[in-house]
C-alpha cells in the first residue's frame, strides 16, 4: 500500500493539536517506511531506535492528553546523523574504525534541546565516512540513493546522505546534519528538499564528532524553510514557547534585492541546473524581486587560500592521526587520502590560511551588504549516478564540483540555505541563498519569501 505524501512540521503539529494524528501514529508510519524492503531505509539508517522511539511517542501522547506537551512539536519523529552523540550509543561517524569505541555518556547539546521540546529521535543516519566528501558514498554501510530516478541509483550528496534520503522519503520529518563545506545543502539539493547551514557559532558543537572545528556548522534538512527555522532556533537554544509564539515573519518577495554571484560558481552547470536556476530567477524577477549580477573580485582568492589543504584537511588530520595509527586499514582509502593531506600542511601554512580568511571576509563583506541575499545554484550538477564515481579520478572531479559553490559560505562564515527550484517531475536542483555573518533570522525570512514565490509561479 503506498505511503501518503510526506508533510511538514507545521502540518504535523496541527494534526497533533486537532487530534487527527498521534505521536504513536507518526512514529509508526516513519518506522514502516524505514523497514520497507523496497525502500532505502536499510542504507539511510545505521541504527533504528525502534522501542525507544515508541516509548517516547507514548510519553508525548500522554503528556499532550494531560495538557502538558512540552511544545507543539512534541512527538514528531526526526533522525540524527551518525556524528551526533546520543547517550548509550556509539558515535561512529559512518566508519567501522570506531565500531569498538565506547558508547557516548551524554547526548549532544543540540539533540538534547530538541528532545526537551519533545521531538522523538528515530535513529542514526548514514553519512560519508567522517563527513569528508560531498558525494554521500559509503563503502562500509552502502549508499542510499537520491529519490530521483531510483532505478538508476543516483548520488544522494554528502556528507549528510542518510539524513537527506530519510527526510525526502518520509522516514521522519527532518534529519539533523552537519555542514563543513556543504554537507547539509548538497544532499538537500540532490534529494529535492531544504538544507540549512547556520552561521557556525549559533549552534554549539558540543557532543559531535568533528571534521573541522573552524568550519563545522550544525543544521537540519527538512521539507520547508519553516521546518528548518523551527529546528534551528531550538538547536540554537531558544525556548520552545518563544519559537512557537514568534515565528520568523515572511517577507514580500517584491523589492528583495538578490545578488547573483558571478565568477567560478557559474561554470560547468549542466542543462538541468541551468534551466531550473535561470527559470527560478525569471520567476522571482516577475514577482518583483530585484535580480542583479554580483561581481566579487576576491572570490578566486578562496580556492587559492585553500591550496595547501584548507582547514578541513589540517584539522581533521590533527583529530584522526592517533586513530589512523591504530586503525588505518579500517578507513575508506579515498577518505584516508583526503585526511592525510593535512599531514603535509605546516604551521606556517595554517597561520597564512587563517590570516587570508580574515582578509577575504573583510573585503567581501561590504560588497554583499547591500543585498538581501547572494544567490547561486547549490551545486552545478543534477544527481550523477553512483556508478559514475567508482573511478578515483571521477570521484575527485565530481566531488570538487559538488563542493565548489557551497564552500563559499563556510569560508566566509555565513549562513546559507538550499531550496528546491525545479519543476515537479524534473531532476532536483537546489537554489542557494547566502546571508551575512549572524544574519540567520533575516536569511530565513528571505528564504521563506523566495520559497513561496517559487511555489506559486
Q: Look up residue 209 and give its three cell numbers.
A: 564528532
pLDDT at 271 over 70: yes
Helix (H) or strand (E) holding 122: strand 120-125
Buried b vs exposed e over 99-135: b needs ≥16 C-beta within 10 Å?
eeeeebeebbbbbbbbbebbbbbbbbbbbbbbbbbbb
Q: Tell me what pLDDT residue 247 has.
A: 87
Q: Tell me what pLDDT residue 457 has.
A: 66
- Do the domains 257-302+357-456 and 9-245 match in fold? yes
Region 275-302: what's the mean pLDDT?
A: 98
Provide CB contacts within 8 A for 39, sequence distance 6+: 33, 169, 171
CATH of 257-302+357-456, one of 3.90.1300.10, 3.40.50.450, 3.20.20.140, 1.10.8.50: 3.90.1300.10
**161 given a catalytic annotation:** no
> Are β-strands 217-222 and 174-179 bridged in parallel, bridged antiparallel, or unpaired?
antiparallel
Predicted confidence (pLDDT) per residue in 297-321, tens digit: 999 999 999 999 999 999 999 999 9
Catalytically annotated residue among 79, 81, 161, 212: 81
Long-range CB contacts (< 8 A, 24+ apart) of 300-305? 300/263, 300/264, 301/356, 301/360, 302/360, 302/407, 302/408, 302/411, 303/264, 305/353, 305/356, 305/357, 305/360, 305/411
Predicted confidence (pLDDT) per residue in 202-222, tens digit: 999 999 999 999 999 999 999
Catalytically annotated residue among 133, 159, 161, 418: 159
C-alpha separations of 375 from 110, 265, 419, 433 in Å: 28, 10, 11, 5
Predicted confidence (pLDDT) per residue in 119-170, tens digit: 999 999 999 999 999 999 999 999 999 999 999 999 999 999 999 999 999 9
**81 given a catalytic annotation:** yes
Q: Tell me what pLDDT residue 426 has.
A: 97
Give CATH superfamily name and number for 9-245: Amidase signature (AS) domain (3.90.1300.10)
Confidence of residue 6 (pLDDT cuts 50, 70, 90): confident
Predicted confidence (pLDDT) per residue in 61-104, tens digit: 999 999 999 999 999 999 999 999 999 999 999 999 999 999 99
**133 given a catalytic annotation:** no
Predicted confidence (pLDDT) per residue in 368-400, tens digit: 999 999 999 999 999 999 999 999 999 999 999
Region 426-440: what's the mean pLDDT?
A: 98
* Domain residue ranges in the chain: 9-245, 257-302+357-456
Mean pLDDT, the chain, integer: 97
C-alpha separations of 177 from 60, 142, 197, 353, 373 in Å: 24, 18, 9, 26, 23
Catalytically annotated residue among 71, 79, 95, 183: 183
> Are β-strands 120-125 and 77-81 bridged in parallel, bridged antiparallel, or unpaired?
parallel
Question: Are the C-beta atoms of residues 97 and 331 closer than 8 Å to each other?
Answer: yes
Confidence of residue 365 (pLDDT cuts 50, 70, 90): very high
Q: Look up residue 358 and give its three cell numbers.
A: 580574515
Q: Look up residue 279 and give its three cell numbers.
A: 527559470
Q: Look up residue 271 and give its three cell numbers.
A: 542543462
Q: Tell me what pLDDT residue 1 has.
A: 35
Confidence of residue 2 (pLDDT cuts 50, 70, 90): very low
Whether residue 159 has a cis bond before it, omega within 30° of 0: yes
More confident of the two residues 365 and 6? 365
Per the listing, cell 584548507 goes with 310
Confidence of residue 3 (pLDDT cuts 50, 70, 90): low
Q: Tell me what pLDDT residue 353 has.
A: 98
Look at the pTM and tell me if it is higher than 0.95. Answer: yes
Q: Look up residue 90 and give its three cell numbers.
A: 556509539
Amino acid at each position: 500500500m503506498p505511503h501518503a505524501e510526506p508533510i511538514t512540521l507545521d502540518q504535523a503539529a496541527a494534526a497533533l493539536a486537532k487530534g487527527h494524528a498521534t505521536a504513536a501514529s507518526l512514529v509508526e508510519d516513519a518506522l514502516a517506511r524505514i523497514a520497507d524492503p523496497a525502500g532505502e531505509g536499510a542504507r539511510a539508517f545505521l541504527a533504528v531506535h525502534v522501542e525507544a522511539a515508541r516509548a517516547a511517542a507514548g510519553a508525548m501522547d500522554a503528556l499532550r492528553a494531560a495538557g502538558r506537551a512540552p511544545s507543539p512539536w512534541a512527538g514528531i519523529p526526526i533522525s540524527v546523523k551518525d556524528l551526533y552523540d546520543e547517550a548509550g550509543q556509539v558515535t561512529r561517524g559512518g566508519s567501522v574504525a570506531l565500531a569498538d569505541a565506547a558508547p557516548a555518556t551524554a547526548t549532544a547539546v543540540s539533540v538534547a534541546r530538541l528532545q526537551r521540546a519533545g521531538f522523538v529521535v528515530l535513529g542514526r543516519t548514514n553519512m560519508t565516512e567522517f563527513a569528508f566528501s560531498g558525494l554521500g558514498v559509503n563503502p562500509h554501510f552502502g549508499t542510499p540513493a537520491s529519490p530521483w530516478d531510483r532505478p538508476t541509483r543516483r548520488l544522494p550528496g554528502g556528507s549528510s546522505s542518510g539524513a537527506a534520503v530519510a527526510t525526502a522519503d518520509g522516514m521522519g520529518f527532518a534529519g539533523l546534519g552537519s555542514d563543513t563545506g556543504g554537507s547539509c545543502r548538497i544532499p538537500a539539493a540532490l534529494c529535492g528538499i531544504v538544507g540549512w547551514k547556520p552561521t557556525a557559532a549559533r549552534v554549539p558543537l558540543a557532543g559531535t564528532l568533528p571534521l573541522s572545528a573552524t568550519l563545522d556548522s550544525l543544521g537540519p534538512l527538512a521539507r520547508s524553510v519553516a521546518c528548518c527555522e523551527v529546528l534551528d532556533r531550538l538547536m540554537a537554544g531558544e525556548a520552545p514557547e518563544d519559537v512557537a509564539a514568534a515565528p520568523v515573519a515572511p517577507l514580500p518577495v517584491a523589492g528583495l534585492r538578490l545578488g547573483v554571484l558571478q565568477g567560478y560558481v557559474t561554470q560547468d552547470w549542466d542543462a538541468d541546473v541551468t534551466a531550473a536556476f535561470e527559470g527560478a530567477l525569471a520567476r522571482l524577477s516577475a514577482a518583483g524581486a530585484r535580480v542583479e549580477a554580483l561581481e566579487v573580485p576576491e572570490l578566486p582568492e578562496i580556492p587559492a587560500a585553500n591550496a595547501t589543504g584548507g582547514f578541513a584537511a589540517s584539522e581533521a588530520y590533527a583529530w584522526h592521526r592517533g586513530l589512523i595509527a591504530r586503525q588505518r586499514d579500517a578507513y575508506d582509502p579515498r577518505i584516508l587520502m583526503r585526511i592525510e593531506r593535512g599531514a603535509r600542511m605546516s604551521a606556517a601554512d595554517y597561520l597564512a590560511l587563517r590570516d587570508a580568511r580574515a582578509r577575504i571576509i573583510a573585503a567581501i563583506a561590504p560588497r554583499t551588504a547591500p543585498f538581501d541575499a547572494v544567490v547561486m545554484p547549490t551545486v552545478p550538477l543534477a544527481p550523477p549516478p553512483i556508478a559514475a564515481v567508482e573511478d578515483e579520478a571521477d570521484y575527485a572531479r565530481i566531488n570538487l564540483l559538488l563542493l565548489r559553490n557551497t564552500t563559499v559560505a563556510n569560508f566566509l562564515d555565513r549562513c546559507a540555505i538550499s531550496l528546491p527550484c525545479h519543476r515537479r517531475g524534473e531532476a532536483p536542483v537546489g537554489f542557494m541563498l547566502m546571508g551575512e555573518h549572524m544574519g540567520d533570522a533575516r536569511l530565513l525570512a528571505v528564504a521563506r519569501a523566495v520559497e513561496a514565490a517559487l511555489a506559486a509561479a
